Amino acid sequence: MSISQNLLRIKSSLPEEVTLVAVSKTKPISDLMEAYEVGQRIFGENKIQEMAEKWELMPKDIQWHMIGHVQTNKVKFMAPFVHLIHGVDSLKLLEEINKQALKNNRIIDCLLQIHIAEEETKFGLDQDELNVLLASPTFQKMKNIRVVGLMGMATFTNVQNQIKKEFAYLKSIFDDLQPLNIEQCQLSTLSMGMSGDYQLAIACGSTMVRIGSSIFGGR
């Protein structure tokens, strides 16, 4: 199957309210353009430099999502154009995003990444760290960022119950935060689900799925 066929098949299988991020990391622009030509406008990358290069060369109505771990010193390269940063997991990083957004006269939307997997290697905040961050006066003074939701990655396993438990946990944190009344927080997006587990993620309440290999093929 071609990229456009994969994309259209997946897209038609998603509920209307679920947003599809086409994860195009490592793929050439010609592959992204094949998806663009059948209507895809949201692309996800995990390296800032690669995303910036593609942004320069591709149509300007594309929304670029940074889905990878972000190094503070590289935020400036994406601040002029990034649409949503998924992997924010520290106050220090938020401060830098806020600073660079201000320089560019923008408000940058972010998701806070929550650690839900068993693996040590996956980035993200635990529930206590999340609460500390949200309650921090430094955070509540930031004017150029907006936290629009949460993001998480499940453990890499075939055990469906394990994945389901982790997604359900993230959804419960998301729901618990809804009464929160902080200007910088408007929580509407729950980014969870990749090629191998997006159907389960949607069943658990995901509103945004990040799908790469099922669209563009293996990397």
Minimum distance of ligand PLP from residue 141's CB (angstroms): 29
Instruction: Residue 9: count other Cβ atoms within 10 Å of its Cβ.
Output: 12
The region of 89-97, 154-162, 175-183, 205-213 touching ligand PLP under the rule CB under 6 A is 205-213
- DSSP-based three-state secondary structure for 44: strand
**Which residues, in sequence order, are bridge partners of residue 104?**
none
- Cβ nearer to ligand PLP, comparing 149 with 212: 212
Q: What is the DSSP letter of 60?
A: T
Minimum distance of ligand PLP from residue 216's CB (angstroms): 8
- Cβ nearer to ligand PLP, comparing 153 with 170: 153
- Cβ nearer to ligand PLP, comparing 75 with 215: 215
Minimum distance of ligand PLP from residue 166's CB (angstroms): 14
Residue type, 7: L
Could you identify the residue written with the tokens 């060369």? 57
- Please pick, from the candidates 71, 138, 213, 217, the single residue that binds ligand PLP as defined by CB under 6 A: 213
Rounded-to-10 torsion of CA 138, 139, 145, 151: 150
Minimum distance of ligand PLP from residue 110's CB (angstroms): 14
User: Within positions 13 to 42, which residues make up the interface with ligand PLP, using CB under 6 A?
Assistant: 23, 25
* Number of residues counted as binding ligand PLP (CB under 6 A): 14
Under the criterion CB under 6 A, does residue 210 sit at the interface with ligand PLP?
A: yes
DSSP assignment of 158-217 equals S-HHHHHHHHHHHHHHHHHHTT---TTEEEEEEE---TTTHHHHHHTT-SEEEE-HHHH-
Report the interface residues with ligand PLP, using CB under 6 A.
Answer: 23, 25, 46, 67-68, 153, 194-196, 210-214
